Structure 1
Amino acid sequence: MNRRHMWSGRRPKVAIAVVIATVLTILVIPNAVAGASGTVPFSGNDAATGTRTVTIADITDFHGHIERGADNAAAFTLADSHNPGNMVPVSTGDLVGGSPYESAVAKDQPTLDMAKSWGLTISAVGNHEFDRSVADFNNRIASPANGIDWLCANISAENKASGGKLSRVKDYTIREVNGKRIGFVGALTDALGSVATPQITKDADLDKRAVDAVNQVAHNLKQSGKVDAVVALIHADATAAQGLGKDVDVAYTGHTHALKYGTTDGGAPIYEAGSFGRAMAVQDLVISGYGRRAKVTVENVDLGNGTEPASPKVPGVIRVEGLDAHTTQSAWMSAGSTGDGMVDHAQHVYTVAQAHADQVGSTIIGTLANGTNFDKRIEHGHEDSVGQLVADANRAMIQRKIYAGQRLPVIGFSNDGSLRTGQLDLNGDGKVSVKEVDSLMALQFKAAHETLTGKDVKDVLAEQFRFKDDQLKRRWIGISSNVGYRFVERDSNEAEGAGHPADTDFDADNDDSAVAIVDLTIDGKPIADDDLVIVASNSYLLQGGDDYHAFRTGTNYGELNMPYSEPLKQYLAAHPALAPKKTPLTGVHA
């Protein structure tokens, strides 16, 4: 079994601990440095024992945030200067997809160009890599021209074979660094069905659990003597990596956009480095021996030069946001800004992309009433106004295009995850541009519709609620302003009695919802369980995305040949000086 020295004061291996820090607010202690968390300084190489050090610098869930590209370039440069020529930059997935407009408008090619400027050649496959279809990923994003080895061991062997839909995806890749052979093994979340459309799930064709696939590949690599160390890159929550065995020396995870640390069953550290280029995990692998007899020590790296821990509770992850603006980055600044450095290249890519985005996205498509905006916050007992706005726009489009003249009621929905910015009018000038709408709705969904019964609609509404720690919790979904209902809270023990613990999400296919929906009305008229209702939304949500499984019971599903942002663009054009409707909270507690 490999020997792994971590940091002082670590928890016993028998107690797996995952410490979660919120992704939205990264905690920073002033003047703190990584060494304060017990990190071990870089120890170099030992020719007498054959010990060599390889540095790994990991980002995850970058999502095309090229506005922070220079910050990441500075961090990668610092990591390399810490161990010159022996640093490997990696990504744990979702490098592209769901991106800001500057990258998304060019189909994320600016992000791929920036990654090349960083020297990033290894990434796990994330679910958002498939946003524009599995075929687009395999043919364009995974093109050899972009220089990245994309890793996903739990995709079926048939699909990865020559002629398969993901023929450019590998189980693993090996890099020889500082005289040592490092095997990198990737995998994708087992919950792909909850975060991707059925077509993507079908085309991706995962045939193993992520942890099982990685364990199998890692074992083969170690036992065959092909590698001296194994690095796992799993695009899944840190807890999903806990089942990794002794053949994995360090694991990097992602997907939840959080800062996390834990340990595997085999004793290796697990790191999750937040999202959007705001943090980076940097570790040294100190390796003695070779192949099956190699011993690997994992040491957190203190890069110095003004870097700070991303959270005092998550060792080994540094704060990256704003790093390029620091004046203390002597490690890379001392070489001079020649225009050929990594930071300069990253900044150039962003400048060009930003200029293009400003040019093509400046067209004004709508105006807002004086002093108003639409945002995702819940205030003063009123609904999330931007979610409701998008739901109303979806309803208006489907009612006009598909069901004009019919008497069936039409309602709209929008899921929170499909809305990527906090506000519609980002600069607050009262005008809404193409860029602002496409930034809000940056995913690759289609406008879609289907037919539900009144009971189905109630099941959808009930899926907003769940019991956690014996308290009723609500996850917000945008609902069109013509819908009204009340909910009756069920006893948490009653819901648990249906076969699920009280702190889990509830499946609408079973009668174990946390609430009962009563008095459902549409356009002020009561809706019976067997009444038919037309539902308008995006293709992802109506196929059961975000765990809204009740949408899957719908019939007559159809998609419009337009992106899911188009209904909002047309709605804004038709309603100048638009203001939130300030309707009371949908779903009054009975």
Structure 2
Amino acid sequence: MNRRQWAGRRPKVAVAVIIATVLTILFVPNAVAGAAGTVPFSGNDAATGTRTVTIADITDFHGHIERGADNAAAFTLADSHNPGNMVPVSSGDLVGGSPYESAVAKDQPTLDMAKSWGLTISAVGNHEFDRSVADFNNRIASPANGIDWLCANVSARNKAPGGKLSRVKDYTIREVNGKRIGFVGALTDALGSVATPQITKDADLDERAVDAVNRVAHELKQSGKVDAVVALIHADASAAQGLGKDVDVVYTGHTHAVKYARTDGGAPIYEAGSFGRAMAVQDLVITGYGRRSRVAVQNVDLGNGTEQASSTVPGVIRVEGLDAHTTQSAWMSAGSTGEGMVDHAQHVYAVAQAHAAQVGGTIVGTLAAGTNFDKRIENGQEDSVGRLVADANRAMIQRTLYAGERLPVVGFSNDGSLRTAKLDMDGNGKVSVREVDSLMALQFKAAHETLTGKDLKNVLAEQFRFKDGQLKRRWIGISSNVSYRFVEYQSTEAGEETQDKAGSHPANTSFDGDDNHRAVDITDLFIDGKPIADDDLVIVASNSYLLQGGDDYHAFRAGTNYGELNMPYSEPLKQYLAAHPALAPVKLPQTGMRA
């Protein structure tokens, strides 16, 4: 990216501020090399042909445009550190699972904000496909948004003209400060566990992420096309450790963590958290060209009050609140105009916020005085909002498809599909369209299928896992017309011990570290107060992602007669709230079948 591309995006700074910035560069360390300590900013060396290029990476932004000005401030600081020679990048999930302000406009505000940052390079994340692979390729990856989307492990057939991901590339090259930087992207190998089967099929990943990046990086380096290679992988930092010596620095994502590691080839790996709260900023100090180039990676301290996002991870900087930081505010305000990145980001958010308030203010339901529906707290009880959504799913399918049917109907909801901590976010007893859509911000459909009683027990059993010798439960929302018991078995060489506990999970087995054979089985399954035999048929209502095996609830895949309603998965809850004024959480028996 050349300096001209940044013209008008960085605030104009008064002479006094320029002097202050120079003094900061002289007296404040600007770069930290890995964990080795402080290294001054290298700049350029004409004698050796050394040039410095700065990379600033965010990941898993997920449309959090309320923090867009913070990120704009950080990108501006990164550019001022090495004027005209900074490249902003994303490691994926720039959009999808977004707050209402962005989601209600199909994340176009986020794409507009990214353009104001000058962000033109991103790995493809799994949430980019939330509205389908076709929507990503046709709308999100439109040239009008100005981003090169990278995913080397998508099949060549799919990336070819006419393919479902024809706008995706293996790599892109930027010439910056006289050096050619190759950016290579890839998507997690575990796409099948975080996306529906249809999305996984349409994406058509035919190569491991690390193998695809190694292949492309080797081609770029050995051909002399680039002087440095930056890998952007939407996967956990550990997934990048198999990268070889052709990759100089790696940025990862997906797990929303702040991490640091190294590849087998010796390159540093950074994972910069999520939601626009952190940014990884590194200098690539490049000497020579092509196959003979040498690249040193140095961490950058942006100064102006910034600090590490984690005390154990140098090179990843906390940027949350940066725009409002006292030191930063004074620095940014001197000469800042409407042309600046920060001002533009603030404007994009203000417009999106006004639109969200206009379309999201309609009240769809009311709650009983003093009550709310919360996600589960570690108190041994199921989350009331998950159960509410499950009841709403059950009511919708029962009313629209199976009215008069004698088969029992059960509702489910998965924790990952519920994105806010509670239903009534402002606690005023009224539930708005915005609050429901914020809770259920993903792009799933209301769906249904048929399970046998045995299949249903297997679903319930999948709530449980053995870890470190103990039974752990991951909660799922289950409609209030269901009760059951689970039995934990422990077998040892000395004999067998059986424990009976309230709860349930599909009958699965696992081993703990002491070679004890443990299993969980579901017993005494009742629906609407009636016992369910293994060969009985049950209608199941939920969202399209969960019923296709999402969140590792594979037992749902045994279902038959799968179908989707022509409505988002939030619609059953809206209609349920409208039909049940002054709602309060259902109180399950403290003794009985369900914990």
Query: Is TM > 0.5 for Structure 1 vs Structure 2?
Result: yes
Q: Is the 2:31–2:40 Cα contact (8 Å) retained in structure 1?
A: no
Q: Is the 2:509–2:519 Cα contact (8 Å) retained in structure 1?
A: no
Cα distance per residue 1:168-213 (max 9 Å; x no partner): 0000000011111110000011111111111111111000000000
Query: In structure 1, what is the Cα distance between the partners aligned to 2:478 and 2:591?
Result: 8
Aligned counterpart in structure 1 of residue 540 of structure 2, from 516, 535, 543: 535
Q: Is the 1:466–1:514 Cα contact (8 Å) retained in structure 2?
A: no
| One-letter amino acid of the counterpart of residue 107, structure 2 | D
CA 1:588–1:48 in structure 2 vs 1: closer, same or farther (change >3 Å)?
Answer: farther
Q: Is the 2:307–2:318 Cα contact (8 Å) retained in structure 1?
A: yes
When structure 1 is superposed on structure 2, of 372-381 and 383-392 the one drifting more is 372-381
Query: In structure 2, what is the Cα distance between the partners aligned to 1:394 and 1:218?
Result: 48
Q: Which runs of 5+ in 1 are unaligned?
A: 1-31, 504-511
Query: In structure 2, what is the Cα distance between the partners aligned to 1:144 and 1:426?
Result: 37
* Structure 1 position 377, deviation (Å): 2.6
| One-letter amino acid of the counterpart of residue 422, structure 1 | A
* Structure 1 position 515, deviation (Å): 1.6
Q: Is the 2:30–2:300 Cα contact (8 Å) retained in structure 1?
A: no
Q: Pairwise mapping of residues 339-350 of structure 1 onto structure 2 (< 5 A)?
A: 339-350=338-349
Q: Pairwise mapping of residues 189-338 of structure 1 onto structure 2 (< 5 A)?
A: 189-329=188-328, 333=332, 335-338=334-337
- 1:448 corresponds in structure 2 to 447
Q: Which runs of 5+ in 2 are unaligned?
A: 1-28, 494-507
* Structure 1 position 493, deviation (Å): 7.9
| One-letter amino acid of the counterpart of residue 151, structure 1 | L
Secondary structure of 1:328's partner?
helix
| One-letter amino acid of the counterpart of residue 75, structure 1 | A
Secondary structure of 2:335's partner?
coil
Q: After the TM superposition, which segments of 4 or more aligned residues of structure 1 sit over 6 Å from their partners?
A: 498-501
- Identical-pair percentage: 88
CA 1:580–1:334 in structure 2 vs 1: closer, same or farther (change >3 Å)?
Answer: closer
* Structure 1 position 483, deviation (Å): 1.1
Query: In structure 1, what is the Cα distance between the partners aligned to 2:185 and 2:292?
Result: 23
CA 1:246–1:411 in structure 2 vs 1: closer, same or farther (change >3 Å)?
Answer: same
* Structure 1 position 371, deviation (Å): 1.1
Q: Pairwise mapping of residues 67-216 of structure 1 onto structure 2 (< 5 A)?
A: 67-216=66-215
1:520 paired with 2:520, answer no
Query: In structure 1, what is the Cα distance between the partners aligned to 2:110 and 2:213?
Result: 27
Higher relative contact order (CA 8 A, sep 6+): 1
- The count of residues paired between Structure 1 and Structure 2 equals 549
| One-letter amino acid of the counterpart of residue 319, structure 1 | R
* Structure 1 position 380, deviation (Å): 4.8
| One-letter amino acid of the counterpart of residue 274, structure 2 | S
Query: In structure 2, what is the Cα distance between the partners aligned to 1:332 and 1:465?
Result: 53
| One-letter amino acid of the counterpart of residue 453, structure 1 | T
Q: Is the 1:447–1:537 Cα contact (8 Å) retained in structure 2?
A: yes
CA 1:535–1:324 in structure 2 vs 1: closer, same or farther (change >3 Å)?
Answer: same
Query: In structure 1, what is the Cα distance between the partners aligned to 2:582 and 2:378?
Result: 21
Q: Is the 1:117–1:342 Cα contact (8 Å) retained in structure 2?
A: yes
- 1:390 corresponds in structure 2 to 389
> Larger C-alpha radius of gyration, 1 or 2?
2
| One-letter amino acid of the counterpart of residue 580, structure 1 | P
Query: In structure 2, what is the Cα distance between the partners aligned to 1:332 and 1:93?
Result: 30
- Root mean square deviation, CA, Å: 2.2
- 1:578 corresponds in structure 2 to 583
Secondary structure of 2:416's partner?
helix
- 2:409 corresponds in structure 1 to 410
CA 1:35–1:299 in structure 2 vs 1: closer, same or farther (change >3 Å)?
Answer: closer
Secondary structure of 2:526's partner?
strand
Secondary structure of 1:247's partner?
coil
Cα distance per residue 1:28-51 (max 9 Å; x no partner): xxxx99869634332211111111
| One-letter amino acid of the counterpart of residue 534, structure 1 | I
Cα distance per residue 1:400-444 (max 9 Å; x no partner): 111111111111110111111111111111100000000010111
CA 1:418–1:492 in structure 2 vs 1: closer, same or farther (change >3 Å)?
Answer: farther
Secondary structure of 2:255's partner?
coil
- 1:26 corresponds in structure 2 to none
Q: TM-score, normalised by structure 2?
A: 0.89
Q: Pairwise mapping of residues 368-383 of structure 1 onto structure 2 (< 5 A)?
A: 368-378=367-377, 380-383=379-382
Cα distance per residue 1:112-138 (max 9 Å; x no partner): 000000000000000110111111111
* Structure 1 position 461, deviation (Å): 1.1
- 2:353 corresponds in structure 1 to 354
CA 1:404–1:178 in structure 2 vs 1: closer, same or farther (change >3 Å)?
Answer: same
Query: In structure 1, what is the Cα distance between the partners aligned to 2:184 and 2:518?
Result: 39
- 1:569 corresponds in structure 2 to 574
